[in-house]
Amino acid sequence: MKKISILFLCLFFTIGLIAQEAKGVIFEHGTFAEALAKAKKNKKGPNIIFMDCYTTWCGPCKQMANVIFPMEHVGKYFNANFVNVKIDMEKGEGIDLAKKYGIRAYPTFLILDSDGNEINRILGSADADSFIEKVKKALDPSTSPKAKRAAFDANKSTENAIAYLEVLKASYMNAEAAAFVVEIFPTLSPREKYSDKMWPFVSQILQNPDSEVFGLVMEEKMTADKIVSKEKVDAAICGGLKNYAGTFVTGRMANANNEKVLAKINYLTLLSGKDETASYFVKVAQLYAKNDIDAIAAMLKVQDMMKLSENDRNSAEKLITGVKGLPKEKVVEYLKAKQDYYKKMAEQTTAAIERYSK
């Protein structure tokens, strides 16, 4: 009798724990393929996959897993409408799934049909009710990147182009957005190219001076200046050329044609405006092309660097210390000199405080 009572109590607590777990979202414990198979077999539904694409280091992923998904009303919604699965994108089959679906930010939540085709995606964490609303909206296929692209193909209006770019941006599909801008840019009128809504996407493309769009903007820069503003256009081009120079001097530009690379970087001298670091990028690139590493190392002078603002100094230091082939001892020598400079400044400040405290 005693054994039966103990068995009954164990069974009672087990059922209680299962019931407690069932209050939140129930995630499948099998493979992705098994989740797809389950969705196909569910005659009465649910037939749609909800996949939590997470990583162990992602804070918002943990917030969703520990706070949002265990909620009873969240579980009620997701368990009724989806076959739920969560997969670490950096382990096991998650690595290939991340590549297949182009997962670039975390958390990403995929809504898939039973064949694994993407219906839509949601990025980032949210409170429970907001997240459910986002998922409901994502279930409408017309809001997906695929649908927005189809709408543009059917009617190549600027409005449809912007709508497609906006949904790509929201999905962190930056490579796809860049490719689309390159595709449509030559077909747009100047007013369309440089409109308030299109310019943010065009300015992103300008971060790659090898892009076809970069060359086209340079050809009609006066027009862009009038519509967008010279200050904004110069800033975007200047930023792109500085990134370009940084890629060049760190040795990440394979088979670079030094003459062609410098022809672009030298344009910084005409666009720099108030950017005091532009001259550093031009000079370092020119010296690197000549393989004059000693001359680059000589640019690490504390007295010169301290004349720059903190942001500009950090930018110049990062550029020079990152040059491929720069001896580490030169960097250490500079850092020690910088340390001595700050120590001296601290001593002078302390003396000044003591003097005025008397």
Would you state the pLDDT for residue 269?
A: 86
Peptide bond between residue 186 and the one before it cis (omega within 30 degrees of 0): no
**CATH number corresponding to 22-140:** 3.40.30.10
pLDDT score, position 195:
95
Q: What is the pLDDT of residue 140?
A: 87
Average per-residue pLDDT in the chain? Answer: 90
Buried residues in 120-138 as b, exposed as e (16+ CB within 10 A): bbbbebbebeebbebbeeb
Q: What tokens appear for 53 in the block?
A: 């694409």
What per-residue confidence (pLDDT) applies to 141?
83
Instruction: Give residue-wise pLDDT tens across range 72-131.
Output: 999 999 999 999 999 999 999 999 999 999 998 999 999 999 999 999 999 999 999 999
CA distances from 330 to 21, 247, 279, 292, 327 (A): 59, 21, 21, 14, 6
The residues that are catalytic are: 58, 61
Residue-level pLDDT at 256: 86
pLDDT of residue 9: 44
Q: What is the mean pLDDT of each run of 10 residues along the chain (358 residues)?
A: 46 43 85 94 90 96 96 96 96 96 93 93 94 92 90 96 93 90 95 95 94 94 95 92 95 90 91 78 96 96 92 94 95 95 93 87
Q: What is the pLDDT of residue 5?
A: 45
